[in-house]
Copies of this chain bind each other. A is one copy, B any other.
Amino acid sequence: MIIVMKATATENQIETVAKRLQDLGFKTILNRGDVMTVIAAIGDKRLIETESLESMEGVKQILPIQEPFKMAGREAHPQDTVIRFNNGVSIGGNSNFVVMAGPCSIESDPNLLFQIADTVKASGAQFLRGGAFKPRTSPYDFQGLEEEGLKQLAAARERTGLLVITEVMDSQEVPLVAEYSDILQVGTRNMQNFKLLKAVGRQNKPVMLKRGLSATVREFLLAAEHILYQGNEQVILCERGIRGYDNTFTRNVLDLAIVPVLKRTSHLPVIVDPSHATGHRYLVPPMVNASVFSGADGVMMEVHYDPDKALSDGAQSLTLDQFKAVMENLNKVTAFYKELKQPECLINA
Residues of A participating in the B interface, judged by any CB pair closer than 8 Å: 2, 4, 20, 27, 29, 31, 33-36, 38, 40, 42, 44, 46-47, 49, 51-56, 60-61, 63, 65, 68, 70, 135-142, 169-173, 189-196, 212-214, 216-219, 222-223, 225-226, 229, 242-246, 248-250, 253-261, 264-265, 274, 277-279, 281-287, 289-295, 307-316, 318-319, 321-322, 325-326, 328-329, 332-333, 336, 340-341, 343, 345-346, 349
Contact = CB atoms under 8 A, between A and B. Distances in A.
| CB-based closest 10 A-B pairs | A52-B314, A170-B195, A189-B192, A46-B140, A216-B246, A51-B315, A289-B293, A290-B290, A325-B343, A214-B214
B285 A294 contact: no
Contacts of A46: 138, 140-141
Contact of A194 (B136, B244, B250): B136
B51 A219 contact: no
Given A33-B40, A192-B137, A257-B250, A349 B282 contact: yes
Copies in the complex: 4
Contacts of A256: 254, 256, 287, 290
A52 B315 contact: yes
B314 A341 contact: no
B322 A333 contact: no
Contacts of A332: 340
B340 A325 contact: no
Contacts of A329: 340-341, 343
Contact of A33 (B42, B225, B265, B326): B42
Given A140-B47, A192-B135, A294-B290, A52 B308 contact: yes
A140 B221 CA distance: 13
Nearest to A142: B49
A192 to B, nearest CB: 4
B63 A285 contact: no
A258 to B, nearest CB: 7
Contacts of A27: 34
Given A56-B308, A260-B287, 7 more contacts: A2-B2, A51-B314, A55-B281, A189-B191, A218-B248, A322-B349, A332-B340
Nearest to A63: B63
Contacts of A254: 255-257
27 contacts: A20-B308, A29-B31, A35-B42, A49-B142, A49-B312, A51-B316, A52-B310, A70-B140, A170-B170, A171-B171, A172-B172, A189-B191, A193-B193, A243-B245, A244-B255, A249-B265, A253-B255, A254-B255, A257-B287, A285-B346, A286-B293, A289-B293, A290-B291, A290-B293, A290-B294, A318-B349, A322-B349
Given A46-B138, A253-B253, A340-B332, A29 B33 contact: yes
A337 to B, nearest CB: 8
A289 B65 CA distance: 32
Nearest to A349: B282
Nearest to A325: B343
